[in-house]
A and B are shown apart, each in its own frame.
Chain A
Amino acid sequence: TVGAVAIDSQGNVASATSTGGMLNKMAGRVGDTPCVGCGAYADNLFGAASPTGHGEAIMKVTLCRLILFHMEQGMSPEKAADTALEYMKTRVQGIGGVIVVNSSGDWVARFTSEKMPWAAVKNDQLHYGFYKGE
């Protein structure tokens, strides 16, 4: 799965996600990706999110909408992402990751899997990582 979130100079946010799905999935299986609130969510009032991971688990907790809900309640993108990912891990045993940007331009890449390649650019500075803590 690949994904992107962005905020532009007008303060508009957007989210996009694309995937081949789950390895050796049943023919016809549709995961979280094309479902609003699961495979992506974007709302100028709060921010945008794009996930990756166990599709069925992401759908059960509507991961992206859950993250934006937490941000709506006042959490930072990092706290919102961690809270939602932890809920998904404990409640439905789902592993995954998310990238998030809020309406102020604060961003985060968080994951409960061992690895997730990510990159971000803000103020002409490139940031990237692969393992937790990078």
Chain B
Amino acid sequence: MLPVIVVHGGAGLVGAERLEGSCRGVQEAALAAYRILQQGGSALDAVEEAVVKMEDNPMYNAGCGSVLNELGEVEMDAIIMDGKTLASGAVSAVRGIANPIKLSRLVMEKTQHLCLTAEGASRFAKAMGVPEVEEESLKTDYSRKRWVENLAPGSNPVESQMYGKSVSVSFLNQNRGKMG
């Protein structure tokens, strides 16, 4: 079987100034993961590596660079799934770690559960020796700027870029800021 890796960097808003960086980031992630597959590594290791690369890249809404919630905080979700066994692990609303995808894999491999959330996920991370990071280190100037711009209802002037010109105003209003 010829190994294959495919990655995406999200279907949300990407401004022109971030176009080159986001395109470069997915290529770097794909190539890093492909090297694992070339060396006989597993698909599971490859997808984890690809996602770690993008979590560490502030261009993307995951890990460092995550969008902020209404309180200006970072809450992250992640999942990993193994097609051989249908095993899966996930975390939700997790804080203060750099790579939620690694914690998801630990949930899959070290617990009887499929998903750990919030404080429970943090407790598990600590028990597994996953290093804590300062929440501020996950925030970027870009994520803070977008948070401020979107505090006021109807204050996002660039949303139409996200949906395209053919979408109605009512559709935009219904779906304002709902791209994860």
Contacts and interface: CB of A to CB of B under 8 A. Distances in A.
A99 B12 CA distance: 15
B138 to A, nearest CB: 8
Contact of A20 (B9, B74, B164): B74
Contact of B175 (A54, A107, A123): A54
A105 B152 CA distance: 46
Interface string A38-53: 0111111001101011
A115 B88 contact: no
A34 B78 contact: yes
Contact of B51 (A2, A7, A30, A100): A2
Given A115-B14, A120-B4, A34 B150 contact: no
> Which of B8, B19, B84 lies at the interface centre, i.e. has the most chain A CB atoms within 10 A of its CB?
B8
11 contacts: A4-B47, A5-B6, A17-B78, A21-B77, A24-B67, A30-B117, A95-B179, A97-B8, A112-B11, A113-B163, A130-B14
B10 A12 contact: no
Contacts of A2: 7-10, 29, 51, 54-55, 60-62
B37 A6 contact: yes
Interface of A: 1-36, 39-44, 47-48, 50, 52-58, 93-101, 105, 107-109, 111-123, 126, 128, 130
Interface residues of B, number: 90
Contacts, number: 343
A18 B55 contact: yes
B151 interface: yes
B90 A36 contact: yes
A108 B4 CA distance: 11
Contacts of A11: 1
B88 A36 contact: yes
B140 to A, nearest CB: 11
Contacts of B29: 2, 4, 119
From DSSP, what is the main secondary structure of chain A's interface residues?
Answer: strand
Nearest to B150: A24
A39 B70 contact: no
A82 B60 CA distance: 24
Contact of A24 (B37, B70, B79): B70
A28 B79 CA distance: 17
A42 B81 contact: yes
